[in-house]
Amino acid sequence: MFRLRFWIRLTAVIIAAVLIKSASSGPVTTTQNASTTTDRATALSRSIRVGRLDQPDLKESSGLVASRKYPGTYWSMNDSGHKPMLFAVDSKGKGIGCIGLTGARNIDWEDIAIDTDGVLYIGDFGNNSRKRKVLTIYSVGEPDPKTKSKTVPVKAKYHFGYPAGHGPFDCEAMFVRKGWAYLITKEKPKARLYRVRLDPVLSAKGKTIRAEYLGLLPNAQWVTAADICPAGRLIAVLSYLGVWVYQLDKPIEDLVADAKSTTQPAATTRTDAATRPVRAIRIIQVKPLRRSVMLNQAEAVCWQAGLSPKAILITNEQRQVYRMELIFPSARRPSRSR
């Protein structure tokens, strides 16, 4: 991204910060009734710098995700205007390898995600000018980060657009779960949540898939990245001003199914399903953990590897790597001195 554009956006989000209630209540917030729930975290630790991205060609890290096949490996990629490449790094940013993608273009790559089968998804849906009406998600089988091959082919291209009367939006955050790509818009004062069906048939035909609106995402705004844990019940959401962690009672696909069964019109209706909103409060109604923090141009977040992750990693376009931990009731609360 151009630096001038960044400083203009950062000034805007700083002004918007006064609208966020939780920012005035101190650096550590808690969930509702967290003290009575032993298996839920009650706070987020302060951020600790743990390393630096050392690959010269990884100039503007705009996404990060933990490998499902190669322990200790994380995948990242550059923002707009760079070659279509994936970069493998460890949890401290040390380079492991880099691989180019054939059959893909980096118009405005903004986030990277992975499913339980180890398929990587790259979101080319940045839209600062709000002029792009058809966006793309690329998928690729996760390659060996130490392979001697310099390139791997794209497995599928999913072209999508927002529902009638919605957008276009700027979007920088995505996670993938059970055949759906969930997108969080970069909006103020509240972010919108959509999902796109990763339909291989429509992809093969080159058809444009219509995104489905799931409502507003509570509390979050100016979102720059997101990730979901393997079990589907922890969602980390990043912005320039802070981090939110949503601790769900069920995997997100089950919450959506529950909401749709109670709010959607009868099956005989002719209303396009993609234009029917689902009440957001029935999808994600929990108050998230929140930590106010500014880590420069932070645009990548992921859960640290593990079936039950307890920490997140964050990278910014200045190449720094940070770590934040979930704090549980039995753990000692972090100092407020910083």
CA atoms within 13 A on the CB side of 41: 28
Q: What is the pLDDT of residues 73-100, one digit of tens each?
A: 999 999 998 999 999 999 999 999 999 9
Q: How many helices (H) and strands (E) does the chain have?
A: 3, 23
Peptide bond into 189 cis (omega under 30): yes
Q: Which pLDDT value is given to residue 23?
A: 37
pLDDT at residue 335 tops 80: no
pLDDT at residue 144 tops 80: yes
Tell me which residue of 185, 158, 181, 159 sits closest to 172, measured CA to CA.
Answer: 185
Q: Would you list the DSSP string of 68-99? A: SSSTT-EEEEE-TTS-SEEEEE-TT--EEEEE
At 28, the pLDDT band (50, 70, 90 cuts) reads: very low
User: What distance in Å separates the CA atoms of residue 338 and residue 334, rounded to the nearest whole number?
Assistant: 10
3-state DSSP assignment of residue 234: strand
Tokens 């060609």, located at residue:
57
Please tell me which residue, 287 or 199, carries the higher pLDDT value. 199
Provide the token pair at 176.
């993938």
| Burial class of residue 126 in the structure, from the number of CB atoms within 10 Å of its CB (0-12 exposed, 13-18 middle, 19+ buried) | buried
CATH ID of 3-327, from 2.50.20, 2.120.10, 3.30.310, 2.60.40: 2.120.10
pLDDT at residue 274 tops 70: no
pLDDT at residue 252 tops 50: yes
Q: What is the pLDDT of residues 313-323, one digit of tens each?
A: 999 999 999 99
Q: What is the pLDDT of residues 173-231, one digit of tens each?
A: 999 999 999 999 998 888 999 999 999 999 999 999 999 999 888 888 899 999 999 99
3-state DSSP assignment of residue 293: coil
Tell me which residue of 169, 126, 314 sits closest to 238, measured CA to CA.
Answer: 314
Q: Which pLDDT value is given to residue 264?
A: 55
